[in-house]
A = this chain, B = another copy of it.
Amino acid sequence: MESPGTGCAGSALRGDCEPAVTCASVTATRCFWGWGYEGAGLSDHDEDNLVERVRHVVRVAPTPIAAPTPEEIRLAPSRLRPPTGLAPWCRVDDLDRAGHTYGKSFRDVVRALERRWDRPPDVVVRPPDEAGVAAVLDWAARVGAVVIPYGGGSSVVGGVEAPADDDRPVISLDTGELNQVLEVDRVSRAARIEGGVLGPSLEAQLRSYGVTLRHYPQSFEMSTLGGWIATRSAGHYATLHTRIDDVVESIRAVTPSGAWESRRVPSSGAGPSADRLWLGSEGILGVITSAWVRVQPRPQYRASGVARFATWRAGALAVRALAQSGLWPASCRLLDGREAALSGAGVGDAHLLLVGVESSDHPVDYEMARAREIIRDHGGQMSDDRVTGDANDTNDAAVRWRSSFLRAPYQRDVFVRHGLIVETFETAVTWDRFDGFVDGVLTTAEAALREVDAWPSLVTHRITHAYPDGAALYVTVLAPGHATGRLAQWDEVKGAVMAAVISGGGTVTHHHGVGRDHRRGYDDERPDLFAAQLAAAKRVVDPGAILNPGVLIDPATRRVR
């Protein structure tokens, strides 16, 4: 990331929030300390420009921290010796172990920049198939090792790191070899896909069948189908089918107690949904090896536009009306003025609503016209619409926004190297609480940032997903950090905001997941009895408590709190 990249991640966008899918080769070298692939980050020029854009608001360190090199990695020796049968899939070198020590949160990048890999996995193993996954779980159970399922490693909630309070050796089970689209059923519009396939490869493979999953979380480049299912990923669509949950037909997984597979049917009323136990399971039940998911033809008809709102509240009311209209826009994102400016989508003089509709079946002029009416009724000033029959979309503000959206993880790493605290909160809340909730969360965040001497800061926010009954709020913080102790500063802020989210009636996470970082809030959010039920369900498939201990629930706790 030190050297100017070829700039692949920011290149041609095919349409609304849809990244280029063929750019990043899966054979490229993953960056071991930050986001993405080696060489795919910002060019020196872009990096300078980026830092320049925030320097007038936020104190930036005079000299950026140099990215660590592989030679700087110093790890404790591995405590595991893989059995002969598994050895070919196992890696115990420092580089691979360091690369699997953390996810990709601010906290993770800071620790890597500090050359700290306190609790690396003892082994990174990439089983070649489902039987290999089972063999790894057997081995782990035999030697009393912890297993951390690792998909794309893009967790920003401490979901793939070893528990600090557990002395067992650690195996990072990387599903990267389970990366094939196995079968496409064009009649039912569904595909059977392995759990370890990364977004770009998944879409590239589906493209040869003429279909798409159209699930584009911000982590798309570096996250997997199995990871999306395990974390209830929210993707492309801002309304209606926002979540991977909505397209899963059936799941196949391997647990320490054996294989688990649900029946593939379009819908069933036979007992509680078995799949829903895996959706959001965050690696504590087993390894998701494949799933049948609904796919679709590429959209042939699209229309989009950008509306300016003088007040955030007016924009939010428009979003609510759109979400309640039954038009189910594919895009419906409201950026506050600062977010618009930071992303380059605007100049900060207005809040921007990016709205788009799409269909593979019929022209969407009618839906777009009604969306325009709704927006105007709520005081929004629409730009000229773009109604296109092809996959290009050159609406400037929208394109700039999407480019920024996809570049954000790379940009985040630049900011971290320049000494900033840069993180996000995301949550969802019902509309009746929305206005006060947003005010409360923002006020709390700003007060906490002042409290820890991380001021002046840039705190921006947006609505990422909208429902008839509420919306998902996404807050980005860019704040000056202490040269040492940025993590402690952030802990304070995060704790304060998490408390505000919970007391305000929101969820601790709309789509980042719980992991280790959201445990406090999650424990306050979920019913106590449900936690006990989840622990009981885990014990059935993981009697040795080897899978991702401490994530979601405390496996040592047998009693209700």
Question: Which A residues lie at the B interface, using CB under 8 A?
Answer: 185, 187-190, 231-234, 242-243, 245, 249, 255, 257-258, 260-274, 276-282, 294, 296, 324-327, 359-362, 366, 370, 428-432, 465, 467-472, 505-514, 518, 521-522, 525-527, 529-530, 532-534, 536-537, 539-541, 552, 560
Contact = CB atoms under 8 A, between A and B. Distances in A.
A538 to B, nearest CB: 8
A526 B271 contact: yes
A271 B537 contact: no
A154 to B, nearest CB: 14
Contact of A467 (B267, B324, B508, B522): B267
Nearest to A273: B276
Given A267-B465, A326-B360, A530-B262, A430 B273 contact: no
A205 to B, nearest CB: 19
Nearest to A522: B270
Contact of A262 (B189, B255, B527): B527
Contacts of A249: 430, 469
B552 A265 contact: no
Given A260-B529, A270-B509, 8 more contacts: A255-B529, A266-B471, A267-B510, A269-B510, A274-B526, A276-B277, A324-B361, A326-B361
Task: Give the oligomeric copy count.
Answer: 2
Nearest to A532: B540
A124 B33 CA distance: 65
Nearest to A234: B269
Nearest to A358: B326
Contact of A540 (B264, B265, B533): B533
A484 to B, nearest CB: 32
Nearest to A246: B246
A171 to B, nearest CB: 22
A510 B265 CA distance: 10
Contacts of A509: 268-270
B281 A430 contact: no
3 A-B pairs with the lowest CB-CB distances in the bound complex, closest first: A266-B470, A268-B507, A536-B536
Given A361-B325, A507-B268, A530-B277, A469 B430 contact: no
A271 B431 contact: no
A469 B188 contact: yes
B541 A533 contact: yes
B529 A432 contact: no
Contacts of A505: 263-265
A316 B327 CA distance: 26
Given A276-B273, A279-B273, A512-B269, A260 B190 contact: no
B270 A242 contact: no
Contacts of A468: 188-189, 266, 294, 296
A262 B507 CA distance: 11
A387 to B, nearest CB: 15
